[in-house]
Amino acid sequence: MARSSTRTLLVLLAVVVAISAAASPASAADVAGICKGTAYPELCVAMAGKQAGGATPVDALAVLNMQVDAFEIHAAKAKAHVVELSAAPTTTPKAKEALDLCGNLYGDVLDTLGAAKRAIVFKDAVTIRAMMSMAAQDMQGCDEKFRQVGENNPLTHFDQSLLNLSENCRYLSNMI
């Protein structure tokens, strides 16, 4: 199962790289202008800018779509990392307990992002914001479980990056 997840992630990464090679300077400038209005503009540009070449026109809705796509890719990477960490012989039982919860929560995040994508089609900003809040709560739940069991969270960098992406998506949903 971990092997198929890794393959899927590699394919998704290859697609992102191919799209980023096709991005035009005008699209990148448009993305930067829109991202300026988010909580984490540099992250927004880095995530959306990789996909800017395929979106015409580049508006807040297109950048939101790009952010949600990037969010989905990173959440899938986080879930795959959970599988690897859980299988490691050095993982303590308490850490495994927390990792199991985090794996389930990352799965919930992926489901939530699917709902957000459907809401984007209808320009339903309220639902998009609700889905992003739910995703943020799931990532915070992962962090909290590690605190409860008294273990360091090896997923902190994923959780923080995903929280920042969710915040950017909330900002972008206010622009549509």
Instruction: Report pLDDT digits (tens) over 40-61.
Output: 999 999 998 666 555 467 899 9
Q: Is the pTM of this model over 0.85?
A: no
Q: How confident is the model at residue 13 (pLDDT cuts 50, 70, 90)?
A: very low
- pLDDT of residue 12 exceeding 90, the answer is no
- Among candidates 36, 38, 27, 106, which has minimal Cα distance to 62? 27
Which domains does the chain show, CATH number per domain? 2-173 (1.20.140.40)
pLDDT of residue 16: 45
37 contacts 68 by C-beta, under 8 angstroms: no
Residue 25, preceding peptide bond in cis (omega within 30° of 0)? no
Residues in the chain: 176
